Amino acid sequence: MPRYRLGELFCGPGGIACGASLADIGNQNYSIVHAWANDYDQDTCNTYIYNICPQSPESVICGDVRKLDLKMLGEIDALAFGFPCNDFSVVGEQKGFNGTFGPLYKYGAETLRIYQPQWFLAENVGGLASANEGSALQVILGELARCGYRIYPHLYKFEEYGVPQARHRIIIVGIREDLPYEFCPPSPKPYKDIVNTCKNALENPPIPADAKNNELTRQSAVVTERLKYIKPGENAFNANLPDELKLNVKGAKISQIYKRLDPSKPAYTVTGSGGGGTHIYHYSEPRALTNRERARLQTFPDSYEFIGSKESVRKQIGMAVPVQGAKIIFEAVLKTFAGIEYPAVPCNIKE
């Protein structure tokens, strides 16, 4: 019975794992089960344990991947890793693959060499395609292929798959080269009629009164007053603000600063970093979204509880892969192995 034991590096709070657990192709013989996971942040690991593997907390290793003994993690059938790429985004400093922290994707590649799982899924920001003048992605694809895999890189625009958020991510699926399967990215066409506006995501159904992580954010009176002048879809720079509420910012004007959601569209990208003005702002109320509302935009179930301070939870939600997006891709992988046809598109990234 093909129950694929999934190992995860850089697991985050469990967006990928939750999507994997929900993946259902109508054949109970094909499923994905948690084996082990690793992340460096304790709150993040606590969230993952609480929701994904409460019966086996020891299967989540909290620590720096660079200090892990990868050979002690355990046998797996599949690997997922949403590797950070800080060094690739530094242009002109010649860090690239020789940065102080090193290209962390290499730990994913080394894990593939050790365990030779049947398939893997690697995730990164869409900007990786242009990092280091486009060379970084090609080097990564080449190394993953040399681990013994046919690779299928694709830029997914998750809002095209029914996710209520504009979020673009490069997902690389790899299948071990001795296996007779060819993967194709799932087509977004089956999801074109899904209502994926942020308003629908936040209001239908209403968030339960006792929902976890739903505490209102605190903002100053001046921020509340400023938001009252910003219309849905506008930000602090294109709204008609009184002089006393304008931002005294020179240079680049980031479009996300005090940007209110447009209720007729998917949300803009949920992030985990940034300070004042970068919290996503409600379309009809002069306030930032709660963490539970942010989790709705990331398609986490309301029952999914995040552990940690409000700011820690905000960061966790922002770093996650949308649950429904992961589920759709995992189902395509399972169907590939089960020999089930599905609507597909060619990979839009060339090796």
For the annotated catalytic residues, the residue numbers are: 85
Q: Where are the alpha helices (DSSP H) in the chain?
A: 15-22, 42-52, 105-115, 135-146, 198-203, 221-229, 291-297, 310-319, 323-338
Are residues 284 and 25 in contact, defined by beta-carbon separation less than 8 angstroms?
Answer: no
Are residues 118 and 176 in contact, defined by beta-carbon separation less than 8 angstroms?
Answer: yes
Residue 182 sits at φ, ψ, to 5 deg, of -120, 125
* 47 closest CA partner among 308, 332, 323, 310: 308
Whether the upstream peptide bond of residue 205 has omega within 30° of 0, thus cis, is yes
281: helix, strand or coil: strand
Task: Report the residue count for the chain.
Answer: 351
Q: Which two tokens stand for residue 324?
A: 């429904």
Residue 221 pairs with which residues in a beta bridge? none
Are residues 5 and 80 in contact, defined by beta-carbon separation less than 8 angstroms?
Answer: no
State the amino acid at position 143 in one-letter form.
E
